[in-house]
Structure 1
């Protein structure tokens, strides 16, 4: 009798496991979701790996609706699998949508909990139908390039901004902290091409940074490991580590920030036989020039992507913090000093 009961229990467990596996196999797990918005109508694109014996290929499915949920429901209704967005890795919006504003979609994403807050937020520099058609061309790879492109242990590069959904949500509700989003498009010789990054203020794209400026933004933000910089045609250096020390104060009601950027680099190659001191001097001059360009863009756009206002939160009441972007940021004075340590030169012979 006991053996019969035990056999029945094992059978039930195995049967339950089969149903669980069947449930998993009948779920569509998109890698990326694209969203465009035109004249009150949303169009959603889902990049879904196809399930086959070889487990290769990507299927792009799209639908339109009055809301994002309505468009996703249409896709799910017409598929044999249930759409599960919890494992989504990349959320892409077109440039027009980013310029119009991402506050509503970001709040909806956080509130619904159907999409992970860690999902990457990305701006596309071309129509989404053209983008998905381009990246899923079989000659470009297996269709998973959009996922690998933003993974730090795979294809991510320090010239690419790295901003998850939760950071965008935080910036929208912050007086003193804005963000940048990577801008991409389908490439010609590669599946994806980086087009720099977009500066977001209160969830709206108000300006852009080049790839070179994005690298320096990442350096300033402490997220620049292995970034390579061309130094005035004299050398190529690779950043090994970076840290920044800030001292903030008010002088005659003007915010003043004294920043010291410490870099450790290695020299990859050189042109001619420049001295180490020349390379260090040229590198510091180059970094200051590019960072000054970024600061000027911030001031014109009233967007605090470096979170400079965070250093003055204890000095200003909440009512004044609400005016940080428009009243204080344009007149902020930033004194930047760059200190470079060349850790080694490999086999290069330098003066």
Structure 2
């Protein structure tokens, strides 16, 4: 009993929960778009969800309120820095802007080609920034993208977020967010790969075009969705059941599902001369569409294994070539050299060596399942 007489007075000295913000006083930002302008200025676009209230007539002549689907308030403002623009927006809207619920941050392609990191610096320094927000490069301007008419969509940032999640699950793009992108943009031994999105005028919908390649902090090239999938296989990041389609002999197309894949990167750093690299890829696939059939015959399966191996190797080599042309070391070869021999890496002019170095891809594809045909 005596201890309670001690605990009760002491509990009065405990700090209360005073550092809080009421949601009704905030304007939660779900989506952000950034575009670089002339004279090093920029345009910031934000999307804020708005709940629309409508009145309905209740029984007995009374009136009630119903909540309609969330709508978007799109705001754009120009300024010198992200913080500068945010302060201007704050002064022009009732309620404080809050980015703690940010889900999507989009940057125009032209802006991404000129030091992407500098546009994101304010978010990395803000302790309430959700660094798990998706980061996208827009084919065009980000502010114009938010003004497009997306059929059947009202809350665009939620739509973009779900679109990216689906593409990640299908291995059309790498799993990425602001935190992962920051690490790659600042890593001298490897480069980043960020999803690329565009607007389909005919379908009135957003679509994933593949990925934007980066050289350091700036965008330097692009990969298609299929090339991005091949990259993910080469770095062991492909999700299970990745679909691929190839053209084989006779002009026939065959669609397969990658059910298992293993890739290994070997880097050779000679004492004299430039380093070389070899990527070995083994894939097991299931046939999901092949009209000519006859897959019960061992000879046919063996022939298809060889053809799939050749076509897959072409795809991998084409992807590597594009990465080298963009001077984008997304495979992390430089990081391997740093880990293996940091002194040797320091002696290399990596920006000059990487685009011309010898990178080979050795591929083996084996059909493990032919699918059920009734």
Pick the TM interval, shorter chain.
Answer: 0.7 to 0.9
Pick the aligned partner of 1:267 from 287, 305, 327: 287
SS of 1:134's partner is: coil
Give 1:35's aligned residue: 34
Aligned residue runs from structure 1 range 73-222, under 5 A: 73-135=87-149, 137=150, 139-140=152-153, 142-143=155-156, 144-152=158-166, 157-188=170-201, 189-222=203-236
Shift in alpha-carbon separation, 1:269–1:115, aligned structure 2, 3 A? same
Partner of 1:249: 268
1:254 alignment partner, SS class = coil
Structure 1 residue ranges without an equivalent (≥5)? 1-15
Distance 1:300 1:210, change over 3 A: same
Assess if the C-alpha contact under 8 Å between 2:334 and 2:345 holds in 1: no
Of residues 37, 41, 58 in structure 1, which corresponds to 2:72? 58
Equivalent runs, 1:318-333 vs 2, <5 Å: 318=343, 320-321=345-346, 323=348, 325-333=350-358
Which runs of 4 or more aligned residues in structure 1 lie more than 6 Å from their structure 2 counterparts after TM superposition?
none
TM-score (norm 2): 0.79
Deviations 1:30-59 (A, max 9, x none): 222000011122111112221242342222
Aligned residues: 330
Q: Kindly provide the CA deviation profile for residues 34-89 of structure 1, in whole angstroms up to 9, marking residues without a partner as x.
A: 00011122111112221242342222111111111121222233222322212212
Aligned to 1:303: 328
Gap regions ≥5 residues in structure 2: 1-15, 53-66, 295-299
Q: Post-superposition shift, 1:278?
A: 2.9
In the TM superposition, residue 93 of structure 1 has moved relative to its aligned partner by: 0.7
Contact persistence 1:235–1:279 (CA under 8 A): no
Are 1:282 and 2:307 counterparts? Answer: yes
Q: Secondary structure at the match of 1:150?
A: helix
- CA offsets 1:123-173 (integer angstroms, 9 cap, x no match): 1112223311225x4534653311211125x88532234332223322333
Paired residue secondary structure (1:139): coil
Query: Shift of the alpha carbon at 1:260?
Result: 1.8
- In the alignment, which residue of structure 1 is the partner of 2:49? 49
TM-score by length of 1: 0.84
- For the pair shown, the structure with the greater C-alpha radius of gyration is 2
Partner of 1:258: 278
